[in-house]
A = this chain, B = another copy of it.
Amino acid sequence: MVKLQTHQGHLQVAGCDVPELAAKYGTPFYLVNQNLIEDRCKEIHADFLAKYPGSRAAYASKAFLCLEMCRIIAQQGLGLDVVSGGELFTAVQAGFPMERVIFHGNNKTDQEIAMAVDHQVGRVVVDNMYELERLQAEAGRQDRKMDILFRITPGVDSHTHKFISTGQLDSKFGIPTDPEHLRDYMDKVMTMTNLRLLGFHFHVGSQLHANDSHLKAVEILAGIIQRVKEEHGFITEELNVGGGYGIYYTDEDEPEPLSYFTDGIMETLHKECASRGLNVPAVTIEPGRWVIGEAGMTIYTIGSIKEVPGIRTYAAVDGGMPDNPRPSLYDAKYDAVIANKMDAPRDAVATIAGKCCESGDILIWDLPVPQLAPGDTLAVRSTGAYNFAMASNYNRLPRPGVVMVKNGLDRLVVRPQSYQDMLSTEI
Contact = CB atoms under 8 A, between A and B. Distances in A.
Complex copy number for this chain: 2
Given A86-B398, A314-B172, A395-B86, A357 B163 contact: no
Nearest to A386: B394
Interface string A401-427: 100000000011111110111111111
B357 A106 contact: yes
Interface of A: 62, 65-68, 83-87, 89-90, 93, 104-109, 127-128, 130-131, 162-166, 168-173, 176, 178, 181, 303-306, 308-309, 311-312, 314, 316-318, 325, 328-329, 351, 353-362, 374, 389-399, 401, 411-417, 419-427
Given A304-B130, A316-B106, A395-B84, A67 B423 contact: yes
Given A163-B360, A169-B311, A359-B173, A427 B398 contact: no
Given A164-B360, A426-B66, A304 B414 contact: no
A351 B200 CA distance: 26
A359 B107 contact: no
Given A83-B395, A105-B357, A165-B359, A131 B423 contact: no
Contacts of A93: 423
A105 B308 CA distance: 17
Contacts of A401: 425
Contacts of A419: 85-86, 89-90
Tell which of A164, A393, A398, A422 has the most Cβ of chain B within 10 Å: A393
Nearest to A174: B306
A411 B426 CA distance: 12
Nearest to A166: B359
A325 B169 CA distance: 24
Given A84-B395, A107-B304, A303-B109, A311 B170 contact: yes
B422 A421 contact: no
Nearest to A420: B89
A390 B392 CA distance: 6
B426 A67 contact: yes
18 contacts: A67-B423, A84-B395, A106-B357, A107-B316, A107-B318, A109-B303, A127-B304, A164-B360, A166-B359, A169-B308, A169-B311, A172-B351, A181-B309, A328-B329, A413-B426, A413-B427, A415-B425, A417-B425
Given A304-B107, A357-B105, A426 B397 contact: no
Contacts of A169: 308, 311
Contact of A164 (B165, B358, B392): B358
